[in-house]
Structure 1
């Protein structure tokens, strides 16, 4: 049984790192955690949505789709492995400053350094290596920050806190894309993103409230084989955890299929110029962000108040499918604007409430970060398959289009199929949430 740590200078006992939290953390802590999440998602999505696509076009204009697929695929593979690995390292960390904070600080430094290398990458090979480095470092941050919620937030407040984190993620995407578009330079975009990544970590570093493992608790001897074996969590023993993983994979796969090629959808699919494309993506991202911010904390708090999670997750997935179909069929700028609003509502509800749901099906307090890292594979793995599927589908459809005269029709068909796949995945993810039994 977890022990309670010794009393601090105030005489109030500090909770053990392995206790189930019972009191809500103060607002400044929630704010600092929110800023870290904003930094993380800026560091991810500024490059993913704009900078990497523009860099691929600059380095290899005739093969930009293939280059972007390779870069995103390599980064996603690394991300898939890094998150649970660093989560496990975080769980085992015995420093007095706590289990989570060292990885947040180290990840911020490593992520900033990798983004600066991307700023001066002279070829595709360096671009791939630097983006993989950024993924490794930022995933170390994310694994630690995500685990801080079940460490310090009671179950009855996780929908609300999850809502704030969802707002941070959405604003992080918007800020990342905004930086990429506003700087007017690929290199300056990376430099500004790196600076933001470091700056926004400072408030959390000052007031992390991180708690060290209790005295007398010693992690088992490290074994690489044992580490990777621990990533397997038996669906028979923990079926709700398994279904939560499957549903998150499907919803994120649908989202990744639809968003990773958004810049090319706007330029090659809708016909806007390359110069105008980044601005149009920023408009769509802004609409998406605005609706997400409006819905996320509201529905997260609503979920806490009524004590239900699944109904919100189910309807958010259905709304995501509707947004994908709107992108698939009309393929016009007005329809893209409507889809951005619908998708923003969907993602705002899903991110806040599904995160709270997941923290309620974790198998063990000792391995919170590692288990959340396993869940986060369901976030990263779709980025492995989605670029490959999207690149292959668009390339094949374009090739089958034949002549230049039919190229536009080929692009239209390709993106229609792409967003159709996104809709199907979102619906499946919604339906299978009903298989989770322990969470209402």
Structure 2
């Protein structure tokens, strides 16, 4: 690329003055987009993928699932950063986000359909890794659209719309996948079609302008450092948000990852009873998440405060994950689900708005949001690992202390953010 003069007034974001009314079309597009990718992903990863692995190699299914998860995590982490960076640099008449969403949608459809055809474990792992690559070509540009096109005063509500799509998609994904257990090939195709809907929906609802007038960057060492590595300038609040998110995810997955064993080993329930409480707690958390998605963002926008609800959500999560420490009774799991469910719901609804508010450079929004997603991946890994160490050393009650402390550390890191109220 050759360098060019930056267009007058180009900032990479939408200021409040240019968006006097709430961008309903964009919010609907974000909700549909998040629903389309997560409903297919969860329908596949939680239901159809394990079923397909059992069809291919039932004797080694546990080992295959573990290896597949590890490979997918590595690919998804790298893809989120790299695709986000390339999206930031894309200059086309169709914009810099929409083309990648189309690529991701087409590739997701093709790779999901292929999963129903592979006949070896190696082929399945490779195909699932390819799907992760294309899936992140949808996710990274979607989140960047929230940063690019939504004015600061509406970001809480728009982030809630995105979270609302995630909430409904998370709830329906496994239900849809379960309908195809007798026909995994057809199920993967159906999920691929659901994913592909995101592309025409994004084109119609986002109506992204051409990115050709945007500044181009010469291929230099500085350009590579700016666009393909961690943020280096004006990034204090950005890293506070990243590590705050990480500790919230640690708190979440330390408990959720061991919920079955908490019920059977700590609370001494039979498996049937544990299953009922797991289903009930999952339903409570899902309903709380959807309800908070409706309420949290608009309230945050009305109060003109994004950091405050994120801090409150962290405190709610801390209370929720600590409650089973007080009593080894299954009723405490319901109390955990209520408090933590409300906390997770508020956090999921407003966290993205906070992330965008602390981005170091709007020109590299997709890449920087991709790096922030490392906190999700890292927390999902670290939470269960730390939980296992604590349980082994001192029992389940210490697990709840660990999770509560992690959530409180997250709250403290969010409080330390200066740029946002």
Task: Pick the TM interval, shorter chain.
Answer: 0.7 to 0.9
The residue number in structure 2 matching 1:372 is 369
Gaps of at least 5 residues in structure 2 are none
Offset from partner CA, 1:141-161 (integer Å, 9 cap, x none): 111000101211110010111
Matched positions, count: 411
1:115 equivalent among 98, 112, 126: 112
Q: Distance in 2 between matches of 1:387 and 1:57?
A: 25
The residue number in structure 2 matching 1:438 is 419
Corresponding position: 1:73 with 2:80: no
Instruction: Give the alignment of 1:334-353 within 5 angstroms.
Output: 334-353=331-350
Return 429-438 or 188-197, whichever deviates more.
188-197
Corresponding position: 1:43 with 2:24: no
Alpha carbons of structure 1 residues 112 and 328: separation in structure 2 relative to 1, 3 Å: farther
The residue number in structure 1 matching 2:231 is 233
Alpha carbons of structure 1 residues 262 and 105: separation in structure 2 relative to 1, 3 Å: farther
Return 69-78 or 56-65, whichever deviates more.
56-65
CA shift for structure 1 position 362: 1.1
User: TM-score if structure 1 supplies the norm length?
Assistant: 0.80
Is the 1:17–1:212 Cα contact (8 Å) retained in structure 2? no
Q: Distance in 2 between matches of 1:56 and 1:326?
A: 37
Q: Distance in 2 between matches of 1:273 and 1:27?
A: 45
Alpha carbons of structure 1 residues 437 and 271: separation in structure 2 relative to 1, 3 Å: same
The residue number in structure 1 matching 2:165 is 168
User: TM-score if structure 2 supplies the norm length?
Assistant: 0.83
Offset from partner CA, 1:319-377 (integer Å, 9 cap, x none): 22333345677676654444333332111211222211111111122111111112122
Is the 1:179–1:192 Cα contact (8 Å) retained in structure 2? no
The residue number in structure 1 matching 2:31 is 34
CA shift for structure 1 position 83: 0.8
CA shift for structure 1 position 104: 0.8
The residue number in structure 1 matching 2:359 is 362
Alpha carbons of structure 1 residues 68 and 428: separation in structure 2 relative to 1, 3 Å: farther
Could you say what secondary structure the match of 1:35 adopts? Answer: helix
Return 146-155 or 203-212, whichever deviates more.
203-212
Corresponding position: 1:3 with 2:7: yes
- Give the RMSD, CA atoms, in angstroms: 3.6
Alpha carbons of structure 1 residues 69 and 250: separation in structure 2 relative to 1, 3 Å: farther
The residue number in structure 1 matching 2:203 is 205
Q: Distance in 2 between matches of 1:300 and 1:352?
A: 6
Instruction: Give the alignment of 1:375-394 within 5 angstroms.
Output: 375-386=372-383
Alpha carbons of structure 1 residues 283 and 54: separation in structure 2 relative to 1, 3 Å: farther
Q: Distance in 1 between matches of 2:28 and 2:385?
A: 37
Return 353-362 or 42-51, whichever deviates more.
42-51
Corresponding position: 1:136 with 2:133: yes
2:408 equivalent among 420, 427, 435: 427
Is the 1:108–1:197 Cα contact (8 Å) retained in structure 2? yes
Q: Distance in 2 between matches of 1:328 and 1:145?
A: 39
Q: Distance in 1 between matches of 2:283 and 2:190?
A: 19
Is the 1:267–1:273 Cα contact (8 Å) retained in structure 2? no
Instruction: Give the alignment of 1:36-435 within 5 angstroms.
Output: 36-52=33-49, 66-185=63-182, 187=184, 188-215=186-213, 217-221=215-219, 226=224, 230-234=228-232, 237-259=234-256, 271-272=270-271, 284-326=281-323, 334-386=331-383, 421-435=402-416
